[in-house]
Amino acid sequence: MNKHRILIVDDEESMREFLSIMLHREGYQVEAAADGLQAVARLKEQSFDLVITDMKMPRMGGFELLAHIRERFAETVVIMITAFSTTEEAVEAMKQGAYDYIIKPFKNDEIRLIVKNALERKALRQENVRLKTELGKRYSFSGLIGKSKAMQDTYDLIQKVAPSKVSLMITGESGTGKEVVARAIHYHSDRKERAFVPINCGAIPENLLESELFGHEKGSFTGAIQQKQGLFEVADGGTLFLDEIGELPPAMQVKLLRVLQEREMRRVGGTRDLPVDVRVIAATNKDLEAEVKRGAFREDLYYRLNVIHMLLPPLRDRREDLPLLVEHLFQKLTGKEGVIIEEGAMRRIFDYNWPGNVRELENAIERCIVLGGSDTITEDCLPLPLRSKSGNSQSQFAEIPDSGLDLDAYLGGIEKDILFKALEKTGGVRKKAAELLGITFRSIRYRLAKYGMGEEDEDG
């Protein structure tokens, strides 16, 4: 028996028995009611995935039962049974929310197929609801980790701006989470049921960017073999995220400004304007005011996009969030909770300046997971810049403790990490790694053997 529950509603006992026996043999859990009122009583007692009801019944007919189910049990699918002479009414029932109808006399295979398809559709609908819920959670504040004042201010601003329709400009260093914030704004707005469409303006060749944003008509240029929707059309009713807006070419700046002003666009090669309802969120790590002053970015477009400005703080300015972020990223990458961070590793993480921000931190945690092979983040598994303090706000050299420093061991750790990175970059090919480091193949073999990193043949 499977878990699907079906309720048969028909005033003819023979029909109730026939359908009950047939569907029971198919593995469904089946109950029956003689009319609409009995069906209502059954529905109050327990839930059903599917109701198959006759259209003409005493006391309460199929239409009344359908209306009752749509109002109180919206997740329950309804199939109507009708005589051939009342097919127009059956079509009307579908307009009012029935999934399908079966005409008497019917074939058993026909019923089996309709029931199977109805239940599959219900399952898909439930899965879509679940995925949307999960997506909402993923890009809600749970995707933004931090208890620092800077992050609390960011949360507050998201809550204030999300319900509005105005354009936003999100600025901040690379890796600070500009797209995560844009998604959080989208999923806290009344547009959350529609699409969130991101595009990196710096990653698409200039000659393709217009077609990507606005679409094109068939034959509008060489290679345009069919009509194509642009991202503005795809995002209609939703949000378009324009990342690296500072890379937008001057000609495209003009076209984008027109769309924002007129709320309509025209496909490449098109002859008519199409209305679009899109909220635009732009992001950049450039100083756009400076770009405006030197004439590289249109002033009118800048002010059109910069209605509300959000500046995301770099990771070095919210170090108190680091333990929370490490735990969150570890769970995100492994699915496990309860990461252990050794004191030395945490000290290195706190001391480092994180020029790549959260993205760099995630890469460092992923490296520890791969190399460490446990639920513990150790100092040894951290990338070289953290252990050598290269790029830190402090001195790039190790502090010399009162008890002294093992220079050979310290330099050996640096050498080992550089060798590992070279092999990583060359896919494990030692000859290429040696060339990358400017040493001979014989030298790299000797150095790798010194650290117990194995032997390979001359071609390795």
**Residue 230 shares a structural domain with residue 278:** yes
Average pLDDT along the chain? 84
Q: CB under 8 Å to 118, separation ≥6 — which residues?
A: 50, 77, 79, 99, 100
Q: How many domains does the chain have?
A: 4
Q: What is the pTM of this model?
A: 0.57
**Residue 330 shares a structural domain with residue 408:** no
Residue 449 has pLDDT above 70, yes or no: yes
**pLDDT tens-place string over residues 376-395:** 888 888 988 888 754 444 43
263 found inside a domain: yes
The residue with greater pLDDT, 94 or 296, is 296
Nearest to 349 by CA among 381, 374, 371: 381
Alpha-carbon distances of 321 from 138, 335, 369, rounded to whole Å: 19, 20, 20
Average pLDDT over residues 49-61: 90
Residue 133 has pLDDT above 60, yes or no: no
**Residue 108 shares a structural domain with residue 195:** no
The SS3 call for residue 264 is strand
The pLDDT assigned to 410 comes to: 62
Average pLDDT over residues 36-53: 91
- For residues 346 and 325, give the distance between their C-alpha atoms in angstroms, rounded to a whole number: 12
In the chain, helix, strand, coil percent, each to 5?
50, 15, 35
Nearest to 375 by CA among 347, 335, 340, 343: 340
Report yes or no: 340 and 383 within 8 Å, Cβ to Cβ. no
Residue in this structure with the two tokens 């170090």, named with its chain if needed: 319
Report yes or no: 77 and 121 within 8 Å, Cβ to Cβ. yes
What CATH number does residue 199 fall under? 3.40.50.300
H or E stretch covering 274: strand 274-275
156 found inside a domain: yes
The pLDDT assigned to 456 comes to: 47
- For residues 31 and 42, give the distance between their C-alpha atoms in angstroms, rounded to a whole number: 9
Average pLDDT over residues 72-91: 80
Residue 28 CA neighbour count, 13 Å, CB half: 24
Report yes or no: 236 and 273 within 8 Å, Cβ to Cβ. no
**Residue 417 shares a structural domain with residue 388:** no
**Residue 403 shares a structural domain with residue 299:** no
304 found inside a domain: yes
- Tokens in use for 266? 């025209």
Average pLDDT over residues 151-175: 91
**Residue 308 shares a structural domain with residue 371:** no
Average pLDDT over residues 217-226: 78
What is the DSSP secondary structure assignment for residue 321, as one 8-state letter?
A: G
454 — pLDDT class (breaks 50, 70, 90): low
What CATH number does residue 34 fall under? 3.40.50.2300
84 — pLDDT class (breaks 50, 70, 90): low
Q: Tally Cβ neighbours within 10 Å of residue 281.
A: 28
Residue 303 has pLDDT above 60, yes or no: yes
139 found inside a domain: no
321 — pLDDT class (breaks 50, 70, 90): confident
- For residues 91 and 68, give the distance between their C-alpha atoms in angstroms, rounded to a whole number: 18
Average pLDDT over residues 7-29: 91
Residue in this structure with the two tokens 């990175």, named with its chain if needed: 421
162 found inside a domain: yes
**Residue 429 shares a structural domain with residue 354:** no
141 found inside a domain: no
Diameter of the chain measured on Cα atoms: 99
Residue 409 has pLDDT above 70, yes or no: no
Report the relative pairing of strands 264-265 and 274-275 from DSSP bridges. Answer: antiparallel
- For residues 256 and 264, give the distance between their C-alpha atoms in angstroms, rounded to a whole number: 10
Average pLDDT over residues 347-371: 89
Three-class SS string for 92-113?
HHHHCCCCEEEEECCCHHHHHH
**Residue 10 shares a structural domain with residue 94:** yes
Domain boundary among 377, 397, 417: 397
Residue 373 has pLDDT above 90, yes or no: no
What CATH number does residue 335 fall under? 1.10.8.60
452 — pLDDT class (breaks 50, 70, 90): low
Q: Tally Cβ neighbours within 10 Å of residue 322.
A: 21
Average pLDDT over residues 88-106: 82
User: For the chain, what percent of residues have pLDDT higher than 90?
Assistant: 33
The residue with greater pLDDT, 165 or 456, is 165
Alpha-carbon distances of 376 from 19, 328, 440, rounded to whole Å: 60, 14, 36
In DSSP notation, 37-78 reads HHHHHHHHHS--SEEEEESS-SSS-HHHHHHHHHHH-TTSEE
The pLDDT assigned to 53 comes to: 92
**Residue 392 shares a structural domain with residue 413:** no
Residue 16 has pLDDT above 50, yes or no: yes
**Residue 220 shares a structural domain with residue 71:** no
Residue type (1 letter), 198: P
144 found inside a domain: no
User: For the chain, what percent of residues have pLDDT higher than 70?
Assistant: 87
140 found inside a domain: no
**Residue 165 shares a structural domain with residue 260:** yes
**pLDDT tens-place string over residues 231-282:** 998 999 999 999 999 999 999 999 999 999 999 998 888 888 889 999 999 9
Nearest to 213 by CA among 228, 225, 195: 228
Residue 299 has pLDDT above 50, yes or no: yes
Q: CB under 8 Å to 78, separation ≥6 — which residues?
A: 50, 51, 52, 53, 65, 66, 69, 70, 97, 98, 99
Domain boundary among 349, 377, 397: 397
What CATH number does residue 453 fall under? 1.10.10.60
Residue 150 has pLDDT above 60, yes or no: yes
Residue type (1 letter), 328: H
Domain boundary among 375, 397, 419: 397
Q: CB under 8 Å to 84, separation ≥6 — which residues?
A: 103, 104
Integer distance in angstroms from the first to the last C-alpha of the chain? 58
Domain span holding position 99: 5-134
Residue 460 has pLDDT above 80, yes or no: no
**Residue 263 shares a structural domain with residue 276:** yes
The pLDDT assigned to 19 comes to: 93
